[in-house]
Structures are given as structure tokens and as C-alpha cells.
Structure 1
């Protein structure tokens, strides 16, 4: 049982049986590679590893000042690998079986107020083709609560604007239908008709909605840059990213009284507990409730 063979087998397992995305598979393999480097430096093979070795490896990794979240993800990746080896390669004992994952505090994500979103979108220069595209990008990002990967991979063939829906290919190639509002539809149509229709589109990118100047699909990094530049332009001090628009979309829906299950479906969350983080209520609202209803206020 060697590292190369088992990693190749593990990769195929993640890809075809677990049906994970490329990013998730890469993260799992990187976690195992870290353990491999650590083990080989100490002359340890896979069958030599014990729970003590895994603990020592985690202590060694903590020396790189990794966060609790990163440590939890690392352990999760290693558990998936060793559980796979236990089943498919009859590894016994499983060295990570008794290793506990650190408890994670559920962090309430940063969100933007609607005034801040309006300011960001309002700062876009609509006199340029890129500006028209960027307005459509932000309207769709906030209006549909998409992940940045879902946005850059959005296909023209998955737009059903006549019935106010778009089809999204999410994590693990799972598809879902997401409603799209009138504002997003309006600026998406303007971009498609006035900008995209006049571009020379690269072969293989004909079905991609959002294109760069060269007619190819936009990268995730480009979406980050667009948002960072707009934030800088309006002097916004918050650290924001494309995911901030997704958090804001969900938070504003929940605060407005939307059903949590409906929000879960729109976001593509597998578990309702992931969506429940958006049930936080801002301090101003809490204060108003106390003022209005508490007998001693």
C-alpha cells in the first residue's frame, strides 16, 4: 500500500462515487499530501501511521498558525482518506478513528446594508461595455444569491428569463432552479443584447453568459477584482468579496420574513443548519422590539 496508488484511487472515489467538485477534490488531496510529506520525511509509510503520529502531525501543522477552521477541514480530509482505505484497502487499524475534530464557533457572516449595495452598483460606469456587464453581474450575484463559481459558470442555455428562473450548476454538479428578480433580468438582458451579442466569442465559450474582453469566460479572480475596485471607489471600509453578496441576499430574505426552507433551496444548502446562520437579527431591530414591547421600556 503506497501513497501514489492510494491517492489515485482516492481521487477516482471522490470524483465518481462522491461526485465532488474539482475544488473539493483538490482540497482533500492537498490535505493528504501534507500528511504524506510529513510522514515520508520521517520514514513512515501508510501502514506505519498510528493515532500518535496523526496527533504529532496536527501539532506540527499548528506551528504554521492555521485557524481552527483549517484544522477541522484538514482532519475531515484525512478522515475521508483513511475511511476509504479502511473499506477499500482493508487498512486496520484506522489511525485517525479516535482523532476528534475541533468544535467550530458558528461565525455570523458579514453582510452589506441595502444602501451599501445600491452604492456599489451605483458606482459602476455604464458608459463602457464592461460597466454594463459588471452591473448585470452584481444584480445577478445579489438578486440570486449565487456562489462566485456558479456565477462564472452560468450558461445562456440555463437562462429561463421568460418564467423568471435560472438553472444553476452548484457544488457536486447538483442542479437547482433559482428565481431571478425583475432588476436582475432587466440588466442581464441589456448586457446580453447590447454587449455580449457584439463580441467575438472564443470557441468553447459560446454558452457562457459573462465574458471578458477577449470573448472568454470570466475567472473567479476577475469577479473579486471588480468588487474590490468598486468598494475602494466608494470608500467602503468593510472587507467584502463576491460571497458577501450571497450572505446579504440570504440575510435580507430571512430578515424580511422569508421561509428558511425556501432560502435553503435557493442557496443550494444541503443542510438547513447551514442556512440557520442567517437567522441572526441586527441590534437595531432587537432594540426596537425591546422598546416597543417590554413593559419597563
Structure 2
């Protein structure tokens, strides 16, 4: 078995049996391509013949070049999944990565933006340009609905149920969910549709796509990153801001204002509640305020 046929079969496995999204599949293949390049440099043309000592050398070489524990952990996870697949397919008897440990990764709290920071970012957008109206609507939708960037670029007109104040979102693994949408966000989507989108020459097969580029085609993920980054820089925001930052901010503001974790989990499309629990981070002052308000010993001192 050569690398190309192994990758094709593995990709089909990820799609059909695991139900993973295209972006996740591509991430696995990108990691595995690193192994293929290393293997070809050492004249290893068959992934079924690689042993654990070779894999130890590869992981060590990658670790020397990449200081990020997160990148190393993701690579090892991809490798384990790939060789596990070869075992399932009876192409190998063992998994040569099985005993290689991933580096410990501490809990990294996501960057979030305050409501005033988001308003500051929006205020920098030039609304005299058609792209400005679209870009404002994109940010309002990211923050107002907590969407992933892939969900945003794939949002369709047929997914908008404004009378019911819901939108249909196609998430990871093509799983559908309904997300509430506020009248505020509906207002800006409607303005964009009626004043900008309706005047565009739309490319075939893009007639149902909500957010379009200047040529009437579907926006890319990369373009959304550029739009967000440029707006944040103009606003003088020193934090590292990406489209995902607005998703984090959406979840955090809901939690701070009393929404329960299960509801937030459903809106974000998290498969596990443990993923949503990262948003339970609170600053020290909030914790102090909570204990002073609710603990009987503190309340007794105040009386």
C-alpha cells in the first residue's frame, strides 16, 4: 500500500464512518502529510511497514521543529487515528504510535471581547461601501448567533426563519441545529440583503448563499478572518481577535447573564457539555462577589 491510496481510504473512512466535517478531514491529512514527507526522505514508501522506532524518530524530529505542545498533541492524535484505521482494515497488526504520549496541555481560556469592545470594532467599519454593510452584518451574526466561521460562510437564505426568530445551522459532521436570532441581528441581515446583496450579479450555485464576495461568489473562511482582523486592528484592540473570538464572547455573555450550560451547549452545537464548560471561567472579583452575596458566613458579617 502506498501513501496516496492509504490517504484516500482514510479520508473515506473519516467521512463515511466517522462523519467528520471536511475541515476536520483536511486537518488530519495535513498532519499525515508531515509523516509522508519524513518517510519519503527515509525511503519508507509503505505506511504499513513503519515500526514504532521510526515513529518515535519522526515525533521527536517534529517536536524539535515545533515548540507548540498543542500542535504536537494534535499530530499524535492524527497519527493514532490513522494507524488505528489501518488496523481496522487489517493492513497492520499493531499501532506504532500507541505508546507515544502526547504532551500535557493546560487549560487555555479563550480570548473574549466585551460588548463595548465589539461595538468599537463595528464602529470602525466604513458603511459607505457595500462591503462595509456586509462586514458589519457578518460581525453582528458571529456575535449574535455564536457561529463557527465555517457555519457562517455556508449560511443560506433558506436557513433563515425570521418569523420564528431562528436560523438553521449546519455544524460539524453535517449536524443541523436551530439557533435563536434576535430582532437586532435580523435587522442588519435584512438591510444587507435588501441594499447590497439584491444588487449583485450572483454566480451560479451561489443563489442561496447569504454572504457573498464582490464577484457574487461564496466567501472563504480566510476572507472572514481578514475582515475581522482588519476591523479589530482599526479599533485598536490589542487582543488576538479571530471569528472564533466572537463565538467565545457570545457564550461568555450568555453565561454571565444567567443562561444555563445546557442551553448554551445546544446553541453552540457542542457534542459534549465538557466543551461548553470552558466558558464557566470567571474573574476573581466575580467569584468574590458571589461568595460575599451567597455564603452565610459572609452574609452574617454584613448583618
Matched residue, 1:31: 31
Superposed CA deviations along residues 248-296 of structure 1, whole A, max 9, x for unmatched, are 0011111111110111111111111111000001233234345656477
Instruction: Report SS of the residue matched to 1:217.
Output: coil
**Deviation of the 1:189 alpha carbon:** 0.9
**Deviation of the 1:226 alpha carbon:** 1.8
Superposed CA deviations along residues 123-143 of structure 1, whole A, max 9, x for unmatched, are 223233222212211111100
Instruction: Report SS of the residue matched to 1:85.
Output: helix
Say if 2:14 and 2:20, in contact at 8 Å, map to a contact too.
Answer: yes
Change (3 A) 1:46 1:230: closer
Matched residue, 1:205: 206
Report whether the alignment pairs 1:145 with 2:141. Answer: no
Report whether the alignment pairs 1:167 with 2:165. Answer: no
Q: TM-score, normalised by structure 1?
A: 0.94
Q: In structure 2, what is the Cα distance between the partners aligned to 1:41 and 1:235?
A: 46
**Deviation of the 1:3 alpha carbon:** 2.2
Matched residue, 2:224: 223
Matched residue, 1:275: 276
Say if 2:19 and 2:173, in contact at 8 Å, map to a contact too.
Answer: yes
Q: In structure 2, what is the Cα distance between the partners aligned to 1:166 and 1:208?
A: 14
Instruction: Report SS of the residue matched to 1:288.
Output: helix
Say if 2:142 and 2:247, in contact at 8 Å, map to a contact too.
Answer: yes
Matched residue, 2:85: 84
Instruction: Report SS of the residue matched to 1:141.
Output: helix
Change (3 A) 1:47 1:193: closer
**Deviation of the 1:42 alpha carbon:** 2.1
Q: In structure 1, what is the Cα distance between the partners aligned to 2:126 and 2:98?
A: 56
Q: In structure 1, what is the Cα distance between the partners aligned to 2:55 and 2:301?
A: 57
Superposed CA deviations along residues 202-230 of structure 1, whole A, max 9, x for unmatched, are 11110110112211122222222222222
Q: How does 1:6-21 map to 2 (within 5 A)?
A: 6-21=6-21
Instruction: Report SS of the residue matched to 1:63.
Output: helix
Change (3 A) 1:228 1:30: closer
Matched residue, 2:122: 121
Matched residue, 1:57: 58
Say if 2:66 and 2:72, in contact at 8 Å, map to a contact too.
Answer: no
Q: How does 1:128-139 map to 2 (within 5 A)?
A: 128-139=129-140
Q: How does 1:65-84 map to 2 (within 5 A)?
A: 65-84=66-85
Matched residue, 1:184: 185
Superposed CA deviations along residues 163-216 of structure 1, whole A, max 9, x for unmatched, are 001011111211111111111011111111121112111111101101122111
Q: In structure 2, what is the Cα distance between the partners aligned to 1:205 and 1:13?
A: 29
**More moved, 34-43 vs 107-116:** 34-43
Instruction: Report SS of the residue matched to 2:169.
Output: strand
Matched residue, 1:48: 49
Q: TM-score, normalised by structure 2?
A: 0.92
Q: In structure 2, what is the Cα distance between the partners aligned to 1:280 and 1:142?
A: 19
Say if 2:142 and 2:246, in contact at 8 Å, map to a contact too.
Answer: yes
